């Protein structure tokens, strides 16, 4: 079966993350949408995104019918069953648009008799990822553990509600406390939880990720592959390959890939007034209210200096290097150097990213380097107009 996840027209509402990635590669719960559908179906899943990003991914061939699926769908068992049961020429949609179909395109007009469903859930904003992560972690945990047996919990670890704790092979846990009474805990292959750490579910620790000594984690939290966390983390998502390795607080936040939070970096997730929080919506250049709790949305390739204090509901653009006295501004533009309208020089950014890639033994491809350059040119030219 040929399966393609496509970015729907609202992808721009997921800035800053979709400046550098397809919607299908944004992690929440355990998986990215691409990984989730590959696990569900057992087939390779391709991605269709905007032309400037498509070179990052294998391009779907144009010569055969495929199962097209909106990458931003929030799945449930009923919707999954409807989608995988679709036959050639069949499609489903709702008021938002095309949901899924088997054909040559994801254009609803190309299907003779599409079936309309009641409105389906999608994630449209970064703040949605925080709102849905608890339920998604539980859904993905059940999906992953069905019919499987966990590795044993080491004798040195204190565990509560053991039936909701799953540990893959070659994970290392020592003298930590795992509390799954508030939600399931999943520890992936090669991951490590060091001594003194306390974790409340729901929680996912990705492949080869690390929880450092004496870390405190509250659910619902997702830590992607090869991330490192320390200090205090609550209700947050690290998509992958990023570090919050030292003391400091991270709460109600989404962190992109290849970010590094310097020692002592902390964010605010609640106003002193306890009042509603607004976040900047880049696509409309307006503020949008998201409730009474929201931390930081941080794009890919961001670094913060030691003791950086990130204000409530902040948005930090792609490739920024953040340092300042006192609280950061609510919005830090893409590729900022500090907060005083200076720009992170692109050659320096690529050199620094190469260093971080080497730390984690990951390749830095020519395609990714070119993407960073073209994103830099596009976003810095736009901001200077």
pLDDT computed for residue 237 by the predictor: 98
Measure the CA–CA gap between 60 and 44, rounded to whole angstroms. Answer: 11
Helix (H, G, I), strand (E, B) or coil at 315: strand
Long-range own/partner contacts, residues 53-62 (CB < 8 A, 24 or more apart) = 53/20, 53/21, 53/22, 53/371, 55/367, 55/370, 55/371, 56/21, 56/22, 56/367, 56/368, 56/371, 57/22, 60/2, 60/4, 61/2, 62/104
What do you get for the CA distance between the two ends of the chain, in Å? Answer: 46
Quick one: average pLDDT of 195-207? 98
Strands 278-281 and 286-289: antiparallel
Mean pLDDT, residues 68-96? 97
**CATH topology for the 3-124 domain:** Spore Coat Polysaccharide Biosynthesis Protein SpsA; Chain A (3.90.550)
Q: Check residue 61 and give its pLDDT.
A: 84
The whole-number pLDDT of residue 310 equals: 98
Stretch 54-77: mean pLDDT:
93
Beta carbons of 320 and 333 less than 8 angstroms apart: yes
Question: What residues does each domain of the chain span?
Answer: 3-124, 128-369+378-383
CA separation for the pair 85, 342 (Å, rounded): 53
Q: What is the mean pLDDT of residues 46-68?
A: 92
Q: List strands edge to edge, sheet with 3-6.
A: 45-48, 3-6, 66-70, 98-103, 91-93, 115-116
Q: Which CATH class is domain 128-369+378-383?
A: mainly beta
Mean pLDDT within 305-310: 97
Peptide bond into 293 cis (omega under 30): no
pTM (predicted TM-score):
0.95
Kindly report, residue by residue over 293-303, the tens digit of the pLDDT: 999 999 999 99
Rounded mean pLDDT of the chain?
A: 96
In the predicted model, is pLDDT for residue 385 greater than 50?
Answer: no
| Beta carbons within 10 angstroms of residue 373's beta carbon | 14
Per-residue pLDDT at 60 exceeds 90: no
Please report the pLDDT score of residue 383 as a whole number: 56
Each residue's pLDDT tens digit, 239-276: 999 999 999 999 999 999 999 999 999 999 999 999 99
Mean pLDDT in residue range 281-295:
93
Percentage of the residues of the chain whose pLDDT score is greater than 90: 95
> What is the rounded CA–CA span in Å between residue 123 and residue 18?
13
- The pair of structure tokens assigned to 305 is 């200096």
Other CB atoms within 10 Å distance of the CB of residue 261: 32
């Amino acid at each position: 079966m040929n399966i393609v996840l496509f970015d729907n027209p609202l992808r721009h509402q997921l800035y800053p993350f979709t400046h550098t990635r397809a919607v299908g590669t944004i992690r929440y719960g355990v998986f990215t949408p691409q990984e989730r559908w590959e696990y569900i179906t057992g087939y390779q899943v391709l991605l269709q995104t905007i032309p400037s990003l498509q070179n990052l991914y294998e391009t779907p061939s144009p010569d055969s019918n495929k199962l097209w699926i909106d990458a931003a769908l929030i799945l449930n068992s009923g919707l999954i069953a409807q989608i995988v049961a679709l036959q050639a020429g069949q499609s489903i949609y709702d008021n938002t648009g095309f949901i899924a179909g088997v054909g040559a395109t994801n254009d609803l007009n190309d299907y003779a008799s599409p079936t309309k469903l009641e409105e389906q859930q999608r994630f449209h904003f970064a703040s949605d990822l925080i709102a849905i992560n608890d339920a998604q972690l539980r859904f993905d945990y059940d999906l992953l553990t069905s019919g499987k047996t966990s590795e044993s919990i080491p004798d040195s670890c204190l565990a509560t509600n053991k039936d909701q704790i799953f540990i893959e092979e070659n994970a290392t846990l020592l003298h930590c406390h795992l509390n799954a009474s508030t939600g399931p805990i999943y520890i992936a292959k090669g991951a490590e939880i060091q001594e003194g750490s306390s974790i409340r579910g729901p929680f996912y620790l990705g492949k080869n990720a690390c929880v450092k000594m004496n870390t405190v984690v509250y659910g619902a939290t997702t830590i992607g592959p090869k991330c490192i966390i320390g200090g205090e983390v609550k209700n947050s998502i690290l998509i992958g390959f990023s570090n919050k390795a030292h003391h400091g607080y991270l709460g109600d936040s989404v962190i992109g890939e290849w970010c590094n939070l310097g020692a002592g970096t902390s964010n605010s997730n609640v106003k002193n007034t306890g009042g509603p929080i607004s976040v900047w919506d880049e696509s409309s250049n307006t503020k949008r209210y998201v409730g009474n709790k929201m931390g930081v949305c941080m794009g890919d390739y961001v670094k913060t200096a030691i003791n950086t204090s990130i204000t409530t509901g902040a948005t930090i653009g792609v490739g920024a290097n953040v340092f300042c006295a006192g609280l950061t501004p609510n919005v830090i533009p893409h590729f900022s150097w500090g907060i005083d309208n200076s720009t992170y020089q692109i050659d320096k950014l690529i050199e620094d990213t190469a260093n971080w890639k080497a730390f984690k033994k990951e390749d830095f491809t020519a395609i990714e380097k070119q993407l960073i350059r073209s994103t830099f040119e596009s976003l810095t030219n736009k901001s200077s107009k």
